[in-house]
Amino acid sequence: MEMERQLYEAAMDGDVETIHRLILMDPLILERVSLSSADGTPLHIAASRGHSEYVRAICSQNPELAAELDSLGRSPLHLASAEGRVGVVRELLRVNPEACLVRDKDGRIPLHLAVLEGKVEAVSELARACPESARVRLDVRDRGGSALHLCVKRDCLEALKVLVEYDDLLNLKDDDGNTIFHLAALFKRSEITEYLLSRSDVELSAVNENGFTALDLIENSPTRDFETLKLLNILLESGARRAKDLNLPLNTSLSGTNSTLENSPPPKSAADNADDDGNGLEQMRGALILTASIIAAATFITPENWDETNFFSTSAISLVLSLSIVLLLFSGCPLDNEFCAWILMALMYTTLYSMAWNFTSTIGEFEDLGSFLVPLLLVLFVFFPLLGLVALARTIKLIKQAPRKLREFVNGRSRPTTRSLAAA
């Protein structure tokens, strides 16, 4: 027992001289340790602590220890991979390359543990020694899939870049039918999404077991934070499509069990799938009415010193436009329509411009501009340029989306309905 204790202590410290001395004293000590230790051998300890010289010494004496499993079903290679001990990984692969495909009690191979811990160099060594390990499916508890699915879940882009070079796994699906592109949208991995879009071999509109594409997942996200909107814009510009736009056969099932998305809402209807800007405007209808009404009321609050012609011209523009906005909103203008939303925003921008110009013109009538200089400069050199940039961005967005909207309209008009197919 004393010699075995010294053997474990030497494994903790990486003491190679002690291991040689103990083997000289008792040539069978490694065999006895292998038979008596359920919680791991000295090789497990040395591997997890990165003592490559100690690992080499033990494996040269008893290479079978490299295949021993601890109480969790993990080999020394599992532990070295999880800790990112690249030198130890190389030694263990040289002695027992088959350990690459050994699963622990959680159904994970060494490559899976290296990905989970973000050990990119260990991932590279394991994939190089055993390329087929990248295709080994995860346990049902991890919802299947490959090591690439783990890369996305753990947001480990560098490990993903390593693994995609060894096998055609980009469009492999997990037990829920999700590709890694689905998961990148679901977990809002912007960098991974942009990397996948840079490749030509990624299927952008794959449908999972619930009938969702990656675009559907991000549009059905319960949160509307900056990252969500950024990803939505990326996917729309990339040409990703919704499941309802794919012309799937009528007998295609769009239902299934997907534990990853069990709390996700069902796919949106055509009305619900309007762009986020339109939905946001629709929710702000009351606030927009109030804002336009205040602008209309404020247009004829006259200062003591004012130029009558100039004041009435700019005020009249503000009044007419703000009342037009109120009229459109009260009449039920469909704000989820991109063109109607753009018209409303154009009116609002012009109204704000007229009010700001009225402000600057009125200030110009005063003899002493000293106390008004700062607000005047802010309006001229901050507000006006900012308003112009925002208006330009909205216009460019409308122009860029026009071809896609037209294609959707044409496809919707030309696609046969269920009733017409039944009649045929």
Of 59-73, 125-139, 349-363, least confident by mean pLDDT is 349-363
Q: What pLDDT, on the 0 to 100 scale, is given for residue 299?
A: 53
What does the pLDDT average to over 55-84?
92
Residue scoring higher pLDDT (252 or 81): 81
Which element (helix H / strand E) includes 359?
helix 338-364
Q: What pLDDT, on the 0 to 100 scale, is given for residue 30?
A: 82
Please check the confidence at residue 298 and state whether its pLDDT lies above 50: yes
User: pTM for this one?
Assistant: 0.58
Please state, for a pLDDT cut of 70, what percent of the chain lies above it.
Answer: 69
Please state, for a pLDDT cut of 90, what percent of the chain lies above it.
Answer: 33
Please check the confidence at residue 168 and state whether its pLDDT lies above 90: no
Q: What pLDDT, on the 0 to 100 scale, is given for residue 420?
A: 38
Please check the confidence at residue 184 and state whether its pLDDT lies above 70: yes
Please say whether the beta carbons of 125 and 86 come within 8 A: yes
Band of residue 238 on the pLDDT scale cut at 50, 70, 90: confident
Please check the confidence at residue 143 and state whether its pLDDT lies above 60: yes
Band of residue 206 on the pLDDT scale cut at 50, 70, 90: very high
Residue scoring higher pLDDT (130 or 297): 130
SS3 of 333, please? coil
Please say whether the beta carbons of 299 and 315 come within 8 A: yes
- Cβ burial, residue 279 (10 Å; 0-12/13-18/19+): middle
Residue with the two structure tokens 């056969």: 249
Q: What is the DSSP string of 314-332?
A: HHHHHHHHHHHHHHHHHTT
Q: What pLDDT, on the 0 to 100 scale, is given for residue 257?
A: 34
Average pLDDT value over all residues in the chain: 77
Residues for the chain: how many in total? 424
Q: What pLDDT, on the 0 to 100 scale, is given for residue 256?
A: 39
Domain 170-272 has CATH 3.20.80.10: no
Contacts of residue 424, Cβ cutoff 8 Å, sequence gap at least 6 = 416
Contacts of residue 287, Cβ cutoff 8 Å, sequence gap at least 6 = none
Question: Which one is the CATH code of 1-135: 3.40.50.10860, 3.30.2310.20, 1.20.58.100, 1.25.40.20?
Answer: 1.25.40.20
Could you report the per-residue pLDDT of 82-116, keeping only the tens digit for each? Answer: 999 999 999 999 999 999 999 999 999 999 999 99
What does the pLDDT average to over 136-140?
89
